[in-house]
Amino acid sequence: MQKFGGTSVGDVDRIKAVGDHIARTVRHGNQVVAVVSAMGKTTDDLLRLANDVSSTHPGRELDMLLTSGERISMALLCMALADLGVPAVSFTGSQAGIITDTDHTKAKIVEMRPDRLLEALSEGRVPVVAGFQGVSLEKDVTTLGRGGSDTTAVALAAALGADFCEIYTDVSGVFSADPRVVAEAHKIHKISFEEMLELAASGGRVLALRSVEFARNFGVPIHVRSSFTWEPGTWVQEEDETMEQAVVSAISHDVTEVKVTITGVPDRPGIAAKVFREIADRGINVDMIVQNTSIDGFTDISFTVPKDDKAACLEVTRAVSAEIGAREAYADSGIGRVSLIGAGMKTHPGVTAMMFEILAKEGINIEMISTSAIRISCVVRQDDVENAVRALHEAFEL
């Protein structure tokens, strides 16, 4: 399984280079299935077009539009392969048998029926699959959420029993921080599914979260590597004794969320349940939650949600607020999140204290905190995010 991201198929020369690489892999005696993203910034351009045309984007139509990007890449790559004498055949997500639920723009895969891919493979052809898309149980075209081509690739790797899944991108692997923010970040040679899950969930864009969940659940090793240098990259796999248990392995950041606050919430059993039930029923994922101590029976609740869900979330939150007698609900778009990830944190106290001290030394105020066994996240002002990442990277000597 070889997946090529947007930059990797960004122009004609890149598509030819990818074709060359697949041809070489085939000539080494491998059966290859390729998954492609839309060329360069195509998906962003299509979204801009949608915004220019209308402020209402019915999910079904948005998915029709967005899936066209990947169709272009798959057809062009097959033509490039034909030129190289490698028989290839393109498939949309639907043709590849990727069945999803009906949740447009962030559909979940519910079933894989890759019969046509198996047939192509048995005929000695290279299936080239459009990433990021599937077909719903109601037979409509769906997309899997931004970055979803990674999920297509890993899910297909699992369904086809591939030995591993190669994710080709524009960096040479998974780094100790986003190399675009920290120039000194180093490449991690091996990382466990658990650490990668936390990294992907907290903004480490290099792999889509859902793809790592699939990889862990089905035991598919992922090799993240560069389609520019083709050098060996990072293996994401089951934890083993050859992995160093660093206290802190990586620092991630995320500026794609907003903070929603409800003030004057009556502090009674069942109120938080009601608020978050209504939000969940709208299909909105809540991330961090903070509730203040109650004063005179009223409290404030803050939580973070994806920027894309801001309007929908405010709508429901304001409606529930009125119902439960809360004062007001508002959103703050100027936040960002910085996270430390490391399996060794489990057995090393003091990491949280050190993180807070480093942020304090930089004069960075912490607005929200959340932790898991192997991650600490702080919400700070968006303008402070890059500074925070650099300071933490240096202080933890990554």
Binding site for ligand ADP (CB under 6 A): 5-8, 37, 147, 169-171, 174-175, 177-180, 204-206, 250
Task: State how beta strands 141-143 and 133-136 pair.
Answer: antiparallel
306 lines the binding site for ligand ASP (CB under 6 A):
no
Q: Which does 132 bind (CB under 5 to 8 A by kind): ligand ADP, ligand ASP, Mg ion, none?
A: ligand ASP
10 lines the binding site for Mg ion (CB under 5 A):
no
Of residues 114, 131, 134, 173, which one binds ligand ASP by CB under 6 A? Answer: 131
Stretch that binds ligand ASP, among 140-148, 315-323, 326-334, 336-344 (CB under 6 A): 140-148
User: What are the residues whose beta carbons fall under 8 Å from the beta carbon of 368, sequence distance 6 or more?
Assistant: 259, 288, 290, 302, 304, 378, 379
Q: Which does 146 bind (CB under 5 to 8 A by kind): ligand ASP, ligand ADP, Mg ion, none?
A: ligand ASP
Total site size for Mg ion, rule CB under 5 A: 1
Supply the minimum distance, in Å, between the C-beta of residue 275 and ligand ASP: 30
Complex with ligand ADP: residue 37 or 299, whichever CB lies closer: 37
147 lines the binding site for ligand ASP (CB under 6 A):
yes
By three-state DSSP, how is residue 148 classified? Answer: coil
By three-state DSSP, how is residue 172 classified? Answer: coil
Supply the minimum distance, in Å, between the C-beta of residue 64 and ligand ASP: 14
Supply the minimum distance, in Å, between the C-beta of residue 236 and ligand ASP: 16
Q: Which does 97 bind (CB under 5 to 8 A by kind): Mg ion, ligand ASP, ligand ADP, none?
A: none
C-alpha pair distances (Å), 125 with each of 39, 309, 337, 343: 23, 41, 45, 42
Supply the minimum distance, in Å, between the C-beta of residue 398 and ligand ADP: 11
Report 68-87 residues binding ligand ASP (CB under 6 A): 69
The answer to whether 333 and 307 are in contact (CB under 8 A) is yes
Supply the minimum distance, in Å, between the C-beta of residue 6 and ligand ASP: 5
* Closest to 37 measured CA to CA, from 13, 68, 91, 73: 73
Instruction: Fill in the amino acid letter for 290.
Output: V
134 lines the binding site for Mg ion (CB under 5 A):
no
Report 3-32 residues binding ligand ASP (CB under 6 A): 5-6
Stretch that binds ligand ASP, among 25-33, 89-97, 146-154, 172-180 (CB under 6 A): 146-154
Supply the minimum distance, in Å, between the C-beta of residue 232 and ligand ASP: 22
By three-state DSSP, how is residue 74 classified? Answer: helix
User: What are the residues whose beta carbons fall under 8 Å from the beta carbon of 235, sequence distance 6 or more?
Assistant: 189, 190, 191, 221, 222, 223
Q: Find how far residue 197's CA is from the centre of its chain.
A: 10
DSSP 117-136: HHHHHHTT-EEEEETTEEEE
Complex with ligand ASP: residue 64 or 84, whichever CB lies closer: 64
How many whole angstroms separate alpha carbon 46 and alpha carbon 38?
Answer: 10
Complex with ligand ADP: residue 36 or 109, whichever CB lies closer: 36
How many whole angstroms separate alpha carbon 27 and alpha carbon 267?
Answer: 67
38 lines the binding site for ligand ASP (CB under 6 A):
yes
Supply the minimum distance, in Å, between the C-beta of residue 285 and ligand ADP: 19
Report 140-159 residues binding Mg ion (CB under 5 A): 147
Of residues 7, 43, 211, 304, which one binds ligand ASP by CB under 6 A? Answer: 43
236 lines the binding site for ligand ASP (CB under 6 A):
no
How many whole angstroms separate alpha carbon 144 and alpha carbon 100?
Answer: 8
User: What are the residues whose beta carbons fall under 8 Å from the beta carbon of 66, sequence distance 6 or more?
Assistant: 43, 46, 47, 105, 132, 133, 143
383 sits in which H/E element = none
257 sits in which H/E element = strand 257-266
**Which residues lie near Mg ion (CB under 5 A)?**
147
> Where along the sequence are the contacts to ligand ASP (CB under 6 A)?
5-6, 37-38, 43, 69, 131-132, 146-150
